[in-house]
């Protein structure tokens, strides 16, 4: 676990209690709203700390309480869930985290609740299996779909998404779409080549953030060219 986080596990906790669907989560609008700056910072930092795509955390936060909009007074749902990420108290007993180092793991504090959600999700299969992780968080496949849709919206709106380094030098990658590789990071940079799915490249440099995207320097072996490509369209070859 990242050293910045102080994980608090209560003696006797089973660790198997799921986060129960909240009475607040149904209030989210069809199109996700903007993320308050304090929540955005916490989602992104937590994603980096746990090596996961922060936009999934934002998706959960939006569906559950619209990023704390229904958190006033630490509202309790009809199911008994509390706080901005809508944890059941029994689940919080095991997964609660003192994220801001104030000595208290507070279910109502977004700086504690967001890292706790990341801990729960990674303990439930993320990032390797987001469907299972989100289903564990809330036992509803429509919920899984809604969170993933919200996460995709936030990736498109805010850019980036991947927490931690997705690749390392020497990794072999291939694009998931016809992908422009560029002379330097940035969508305004000259295009070196357009690489098709199935073509293989080797990670040589990066990552670097530019224009809301994470870029990697790739030597495209089939073409014999080198350029910068956007992480979200790269996958392991």
What stretch(es) of the chain map to CATH 2.30.30.40?
A: 172-236
Write out pLDDT tens, residues 76-92: 777 788 999 999 999 99
The CATH code of the domain at 6-158 is: 1.10.530.10
Of the two residues 219 and 3, the one the predictor is more confident about is: 219
**Sequence-ordered list of residues with C-beta below 8 angstroms from that of 43, at least 6 positions apart, any chain:** 35, 54, 55, 57, 58, 61, 114
Write out pLDDT tens, residues 135-146: 999 999 999 999
Confidence at 161, pLDDT banded by 50, 70, 90: low
Tokens matching residue 175 = 């694009």
Confidence at 129, pLDDT banded by 50, 70, 90: confident
The whole-chain average pLDDT of the chain stands at: 81
The CATH code of the domain at 172-236 is: 2.30.30.40
What is the rounded distance in angstroms from the CA atom of residue 34 to the CA atom of residue 37? 9
What is the rounded distance in angstroms from the CA atom of residue 82 to the CA atom of residue 61? 12
Q: Which helix or strand (DSSP H or E) is residue 6 part of? A: strand 6-7
Write out pLDDT tens, residues 95-119: 999 999 999 999 999 999 999 999 9
Single pTM value for the model:
0.62
The answer, yes or no, to whether the previous bond of 127 is cis (omega within 30 of 0) is yes
What stretch(es) of the chain map to CATH 1.10.530.10?
A: 6-158
pLDDT, position 61: 95
Confidence at 194, pLDDT banded by 50, 70, 90: very high
pLDDT over 80 at 73, yes or no? no
């Amino acid at each position: 676990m990242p050293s910045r986080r102080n994980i608090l596990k209560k003696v006797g906790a089973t660790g198997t209690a799921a986060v129960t669907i909240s009475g607040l989560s149904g209030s989210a609008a069809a199109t996700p709203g903007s993320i308050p700056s304090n929540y955005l910072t916490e989602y992104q930092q937590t994603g980096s700390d746990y090596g996961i795509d922060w936009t999934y955390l934002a998706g959960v936060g939006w569906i559950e309480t619209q990023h704390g909009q229904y958190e006033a007074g630490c509202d309790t749902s009809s199911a008994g869930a509390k706080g901005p990420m809508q944890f059941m108290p029994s689940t919080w007993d095991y997964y609660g985290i003192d994220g801001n180092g104030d000595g208290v793991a507070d279910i109502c504090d977004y700086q504690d609740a967001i890292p706790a959600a990341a801990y729960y999700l990674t303990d439930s299969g993320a990032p390797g299996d987001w469907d299972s992780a989100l289903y564990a968080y809330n036992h509803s496949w429509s919920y899984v779909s809604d969170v993933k849709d919200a996460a995709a919206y936030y990736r498109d709106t805010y850019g980036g998404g991947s927490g931690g380094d997705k690749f390392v030098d020497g990794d072999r990658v291939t694009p998931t779409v016809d992908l422009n590789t560029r002379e330097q990071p940035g969508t305004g940079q000259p295009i070196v080549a357009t690489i098709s799915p199935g073509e293989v490249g080797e990670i040589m440099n990066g990552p670097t953030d530019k224009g809301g995207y994470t870029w990697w320097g790739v030597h495209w072996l089939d073409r014999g060219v080198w350029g910068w490509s956007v992480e979200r369209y790269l996958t392991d070859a």
